[in-house]
Amino acid sequence: MASGCKIGPSILNSDLASLGAECLWVLDSGADYLHLDASCSSGRSVFYMHMMVSKPEQWVKPMAVAGANQYTFHLEATENPGALIKDTRENGMKVGLAIKPGTSVEYLAPWANQIDMALVMTVEPGFGGQKFMEDMMPKVHWLRTQFPSLDIEVDGRVGSDTVHKCAEAGANMIVSGSAIMRSEDPRSVINLLRNVCSDAAQKRSLDR
C-alpha cells in the first residue's frame, strides 16, 4: 500500500529571508513534509527535494549531505534513470521520479517498481501564474491502477478547489504552495487537503 496521505507545503513560495522560521511554522501547522525546489538545510524536518535542473546527477551527493530525505528528479532531464536511481539510494535517500505535463506516463512505467514516489506535474515547472491542468489526472489514475502501492504526488496549483480531483484520481501526496503559505490559517488548509485525500483513499479501498 502507499504510505498514506501526506501534505507537503512548497517552500518555493516562501520568504527565503526567513526560510527556517517558515519551515517551522508550516510543520507546526501539521505539514507532513517540506517540498523544496531550491535549497535544503539539515534539521529535524523531513525534506523532499524536487530538482528541476538539467543535470540532476551532479546534485545527488550535495543534497544528501544537506540532509534531504528524498531526491526527486525529472525523467526528461537524464539519459540514464536507472543509474541515477541507484546513485540516489546509495547516498541514503528515497527516490522520486517526476514527469512534466508533456511527457507520457508510460515513459515512467519501466521505473515505477524501482522508485518510492512518482510526481505528476499539474503545471509546467518553472513558470508562475499557471492554471491547474486537470487533463493530467488520467496520468495519476493510470499510475494508481497499474501500481497500487506507489506513492503518487501532484504538484502545481493544488489547493482546496482542485485537491478533490487529485485525490479522486489516486494521488496520496499533495504539494501545495500559495494555498498554504498565503493562508491566515494554514492548519485548516492542511487539514482540509489531508481529509479530502484520506476520504478518497478510503473510498478506493472500499470499492476494491
Alpha carbon distance 166, 43 (integer Å): 30
Note whether 79 and 55 are within 8 A (CB). Answer: no
Alpha carbon distance 195, 189 (integer Å): 10
Q: Which helix (H) or strand (E) holds 71?
A: strand 70-74
Residue-by-residue DSSP string for 78-131: -S-HHHHHHHHHHTT-EEEEEE-TTS-GGGTGGGGGG-SEEEEESS-TT-SSPP
Cell numbers 528541476 label which residue? 52
Alpha carbon distance 142, 84 (integer Å): 24
Which residues have a catalytic role annotated?
A: 37, 155
Alpha carbon distance 60, 155 (integer Å): 21
